[in-house]
């Protein structure tokens, strides 16, 4: 896991694909806005093809695959060209497979018990999800005391108004969010607006 690179990303846009072509164009707008990483979830159609095509178009982009829920998902996104994978939750089966896989993996946690299980398996970076519902920055501050070795990518409820508060936390590497890639903006192919929102997130 390239911690320094992940921290430099600030925001990890969470993308649910519509189609491959639109996804590549969407990522192009994000890159123009200064984004250095994206997360393409497995929830949308053609997600694996989109991961491959985006990685081919933007080889220097940190390509994350999201909504990885099974060992099979993990293998599929690795073959598609993802640089890392994130899960919405974590089972013993998925954690064991990820611990043995060469692809960097960020398991999702919602409790300190889940965090301890991940730490025992050697994971150091975790997705806090749903972050805002779990207490947001206050939750992260509480976890920093007993678990100083853990770093987080809070996701869920993170938006343009509160993401800076997350980034101020010492144990946060970057935030996952979708406010610059809303369904309305993407469906309308409003690439200029998306580029502007990306630039604001990277510079403000």
Whether residue 39 lies in the annotated active site: yes
Token pair of 50, please? Answer: 């989109």
CA angle 172, 84, 122 (to 5 degrees): 65
**Other C-beta atoms lying within 10 Å of the C-beta of residue 73:** 19
Whether residue 127 lies in the annotated active site: yes
Strands 125-128 and 151-152: parallel
DSSP state of 76: H
Q: Taking the CA of residue 77 as centre, how many other CA atoms within 13 Å lie in the half-sphere pointing to its CB?
A: 29
Q: Is the Cβ–Cβ distance between 105 and 98 less than 8 Å?
A: yes
Q: Which of 36, 39, 53, 195 is catalytic?
A: 39
Q: Which of 36, 53, 55, 127 is catalytic?
A: 127
Q: CA 118 to CA 86: how far, in whole Å?
A: 13
Q: CA 30 to CA 65: how far, in whole Å?
A: 16
Closest CA to 50 of 62, 63, 36, 37: 63
Residues marked as catalytic:
39, 127
């Amino acid at each position: 896991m390239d911690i320094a690179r992940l921290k430099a990303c600030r925001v990890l846009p969470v993308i649910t694909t519509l189609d491959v072509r639109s996804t590549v164009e969407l990522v192009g707008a994000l890159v123009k806005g200064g984004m250095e990483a994206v997360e393409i979830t497995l929830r949308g159609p053609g997600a694996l093809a989109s991961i491959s095509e985006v990685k081919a178009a933007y080889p220097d982009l940190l390509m994350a695959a999201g909504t990885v829920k099974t060992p099979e998902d993990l293998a599929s996104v690795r073959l598609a060209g993802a640089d890392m994978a994130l899960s919405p939750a974590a089972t013993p089966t998925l954690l064991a497979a990820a611990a043995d896989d060469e692809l960097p993996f960020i398991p999702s946690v919602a409790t300190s018990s889940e965090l301890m299980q991940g730490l025992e398996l050697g994971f150091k970076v975790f997705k806090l999800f749903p972050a805002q519902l779990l207490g947001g920055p206050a939750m992260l501050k509480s976890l920093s005391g007993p678990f100083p070795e853990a770093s987080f990518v809070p996701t869920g409820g993170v938006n343009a108004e509160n993401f800076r508060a997350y980034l101020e936390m010492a144990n946060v590497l970057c935030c996952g969010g979708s406010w610059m890639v809303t369904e309305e903006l993407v469906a309308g192919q409003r690439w200029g607006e998306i580029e502007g929102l990306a630039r604001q997130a990277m510079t403000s």
